[in-house]
Amino acid sequence: MKQSIQNLAKKYDHQSTHLLQILREIQAIHHFVPEEAIDALVELLHIPRTRIISVIEFYSFLHLSPRGNYELLISDSITDHMSGKKELTHYLSKQLNVAVGSVREDGVVSLDNTSCTGLCDQGPAGLINGYPLTRLDRPRIDCIADLINQQKPLTEWPSELFQVNDNLIKSGLLLEHTIAPGEALKETFKRGLQETLAEINQSGLRGRGGAGYSTGWKWHLCYEGPEEDAFCDVDAQNQLQRYVICNADEGEPGTFKDRVLLNSFADQVFEGMTLCAVITGASKGFLYLRGEYLFLYDKLQSQLAERRQSGLLGNNILGQGFCFDIEICLGAGAYICGEESALIESLEGKPGIPRNRPPYPVTQGYLGKPTVVNNVETFLAATAIALHGGEWFAKIGTEKSKGSKILSICGDCTQPGIYEFPFGTNLKTILAECGADDVLGIQIGGPSGTFVSNQELDRTLAFEDLATGGSFIIFNSRRNILDIVHNFTHFFAHESCGFCTPCRVGTSLLAKQIDKIVEGHGSAGDVVALEELCQIIKKQSHCGLGQTAANPVLTTLERYPELYQSQLKKISYEPGFDLDGALETARRLANRNDAGAHLAQTDASGSLPIASFPPSLAVAEDHE
């Protein structure tokens, strides 16, 4: 093993920044990271073993103990649940004779849940050794179980099991016309770099990840660099190391547009990154690809190779003297790495823990250097703007939200897939396009976004109204809102990085409290307690994850207070745990089952009139 680890370390120049990439490869070979490998890496990378262990234990796809030779993960996204995920997983577990969350005794297969795999339009979905399985149903599961039991290598599995479709249903401004590789760069060099930046500013392009920061301004700030360098001479300015990062860690449940953009429009994304590099003076770029999109990796690498061949990347781009190249780095199952500073930490080979801000990445990003982090779609749009001009883009959309937005639509509709709409389009129009009727509500922007009810369908897609990174999940009237909230709340508890107290502890408390209410143990004070907890998590958390983790509860509580209230018992209090269940061990050991060996979950003590709280003592006058 030592030799293979040495080779691996060499492949990555013994750079500890590539620790995550190295560990991914080790996991892929051994289905865990063996002790020997850790020992070897300590020596080879000159880092403490605590660093290696903390990275392994941070990312869901890395393990310290062996998984099966077939690591099977089933997506836990709400849309997978809506298409029968629970029942299918149960069936799969039976067919393979392995419990969820465990490894089969013979070590051949392990089964577990995983957060949304970005295949919500073709679920229920899963991953096997990192590669996607789509449209799971009983026949497919039978087939998969057979293949695993025969221990057939994945390369010999029928390719239709892995078939991922684009489902590009509606193209608009950006997706209607493809742009030939180099076209936008040539136009940029012809027009001039500052002039092109001006076009991007004029276009009004804002970040497509959801936050909506002005793209042109971000690029400008990165070019300027940190304040202390702002007034150095132009030559020194040009010497500054800068980085361009494309955030393809598309982890928000219900989002899958970046998968399609990288599958079918990758050149345009790479071109956008290159544009950004020549404008800001960056010489190195990274595509941070979420681990779930491993299946795109080889294809993207060959596209990069072609671009190098065509002089669109490398030491002298289009003969203009610019030097820029792009490296693809894979994530390993951590939603938090979609947060830009966590992503940068991850790229540096560390756990994806969001940094304190300021400083912001534009001044101190990757390895402390000025860094632009933009979404896949943002770079795609920038390429189109560089070619067609700012005016072309700005004439579409609304005052504050220019251009179009690419949506990933899934859930209860006849045609889930990718849709491009001008900003300002209202929900009614979108629902009609994708064939959704009997709509109860829509989750816009994923779990961290907003739940809108069917009373709000005149609202529009726009930063000033409903902002979204692209997730658009439709629920019809047969869906239970509390089930949805339950799924989302557990998602955040699972994905919290654990850095700050309010999010680390708060999201888990929130999951407990939602369980209590959903399972029918809630009583008078529990919704008040729920809301109070939500407000603390929202207000006091370190980053966007914590600040939005309570949104599923808050946005539904605001719209359906009666739904939560109706779930509560009309009593003052009920325990949040199963009282009788807590006696089970003692009952078994004492071999008892008499009436005295059981406890009711509530009794008359819990039925006190609710109005008596908070209590006060009516004090008779003669006490004075």
Query: Which residues from 22-61 bind another protein, rule CB under 8 A?
Result: 35, 39, 48-51, 53-54, 57-58
The owner of tokens 């560990």 is: 23
The rounded distance, in Å, linking the Cα atoms of 86 and 150 is 25
401 half-sphere exposure, CB direction, 13 A CA radius = 21
Nearer to another protein, 122 or 523 (CB): 523
Nearer to another protein, 247 or 513 (CB): 513
In the chain, % helix, strand, coil (3-state, to 5) comes to 50, 15, 35
Region 605-624 residues binding another protein, contact defined as CB under 8 A:
605-606, 608, 612-617, 619-620, 622-623
The rounded distance, in Å, linking the Cα atoms of 412 and 390 is 36
Interaction between residue 594 and another protein (CB under 8 A): yes
Among 210, 506, 522, 552, binds another protein (CB under 8 A): 506
Among 97, 99, 106, 577, binds another protein (CB under 8 A): 577
Region 133-172 residues binding another protein, contact defined as CB under 8 A:
none
The rounded distance, in Å, linking the Cα atoms of 286 and 245 is 5
Among 145, 497, 550, 553, binds another protein (CB under 8 A): 497
Q: How far is the CB of 16 from another protein (least distance, A)?
A: 13
- Residue 588: both structure tokens together: 């078994």
Nearer to another protein, 273 or 497 (CB): 497
- Residue 170, helix vs strand vs coil: strand
Q: How far is the CB of 11 from another protein (least distance, A)?
A: 25
Region 104-123 residues binding another protein, contact defined as CB under 8 A:
none
- Residue 353: both structure tokens together: 């823990």
Region 411-430 residues binding another protein, contact defined as CB under 8 A:
none
Among 122, 378, 496, 548, binds another protein (CB under 8 A): 496
Nearer to another protein, 108 or 599 (CB): 599
Q: How far is the CB of 596 from another protein (least distance, A)?
A: 5
The rounded distance, in Å, linking the Cα atoms of 22 and 332 is 11
Nearer to another protein, 159 or 585 (CB): 585
Q: How far is the CB of 599 from another protein (least distance, A)?
A: 6
Nearer to another protein, 440 or 608 (CB): 608
Among 123, 351, 397, 445, binds another protein (CB under 8 A): 351
Among 143, 457, 505, 568, binds another protein (CB under 8 A): 505
Among 108, 169, 193, 579, binds another protein (CB under 8 A): 579
Considering only the C-alpha atoms of the chain, give the largest distance between any 2 of them, rounded to a whole number of Å. 99
Among 313, 334, 413, 473, binds another protein (CB under 8 A): 334
Say if CB 418 and CB 526 are below 8 A apart: no
Across-strand partners of 443?
Answer: 451, 473
List C-alpha distances in Å: 239 to 128, 223, 572: 45, 11, 68
Region 519-558 residues binding another protein, contact defined as CB under 8 A:
525, 532-533, 536, 539-542
- Residue 444: both structure tokens together: 């816009």
Among 1, 106, 590, 609, binds another protein (CB under 8 A): 590
Nearer to another protein, 486 or 542 (CB): 542
The rounded distance, in Å, linking the Cα atoms of 178 and 300 is 17
Among 3, 7, 155, 356, binds another protein (CB under 8 A): 356
Interaction between residue 2 and another protein (CB under 8 A): no
Among 191, 494, 559, 569, binds another protein (CB under 8 A): 494
- The stretch near another protein (CB under 8 A) out of 2-10, 294-302, 338-346, 591-599 is 591-599
DSSP states along 230-258: TTS-HHHHHHS--EEEEEE---STT--HH
Q: How many residues comprise the chain? A: 624
Among 135, 308, 400, 512, binds another protein (CB under 8 A): 512
Alpha helices in 31-172 (DSSP H): 35-45, 49-58, 78-82, 85-96, 138-149
Q: How far is the CB of 487 from another protein (least distance, A)?
A: 17
The rounded distance, in Å, linking the Cα atoms of 343 and 366 is 9
Among 11, 501, 570, 609, binds another protein (CB under 8 A): 501
The rounded distance, in Å, linking the Cα atoms of 522 and 518 is 8
Nearer to another protein, 228 or 458 (CB): 228
* Helix, strand counts (H, E) of the chain: 25, 16
DSSP states along 331-370: --S-GGGGSHHHHHHHHTTS---PPPSSSPTTTS-GGGS-
List C-alpha distances in Å: 232 to 169, 221, 236, 593: 50, 15, 6, 83
- The stretch near another protein (CB under 8 A) out of 2-10, 170-178, 411-419, 597-605 is 597-605
The owner of tokens 């010497």 is: 239
By CB under 8 A, the count of residues binding another protein is 74
Q: How many CB atoms lie within 10 A of CB 504?
A: 17
Peptide bond into 552 cis (omega under 30): no
List C-alpha distances in Å: 541 to 142, 249, 501: 45, 22, 8
Interaction between residue 450 and another protein (CB under 8 A): no
The owner of tokens 């209230």 is: 565
- Residue 303: both structure tokens together: 């596209």
The rounded distance, in Å, linking the Cα atoms of 149 and 106 is 11
Interaction between residue 211 and another protein (CB under 8 A): no
Nearer to another protein, 367 or 577 (CB): 577
The rounded distance, in Å, linking the Cα atoms of 341 and 352 is 8
Region 240-259 residues binding another protein, contact defined as CB under 8 A:
none
Nearer to another protein, 235 or 594 (CB): 594
- The stretch near another protein (CB under 8 A) out of 202-210, 269-277, 316-324, 499-507 is 499-507
Among 420, 499, 530, 564, binds another protein (CB under 8 A): 499
Among 500, 517, 527, 530, binds another protein (CB under 8 A): 500
Q: How far is the CB of 166 from another protein (least distance, A)?
A: 32
- The stretch near another protein (CB under 8 A) out of 87-95, 246-254, 429-437, 490-498 is 490-498
Interaction between residue 587 and another protein (CB under 8 A): yes
Say if CB 74 and CB 85 are below 8 A apart: yes
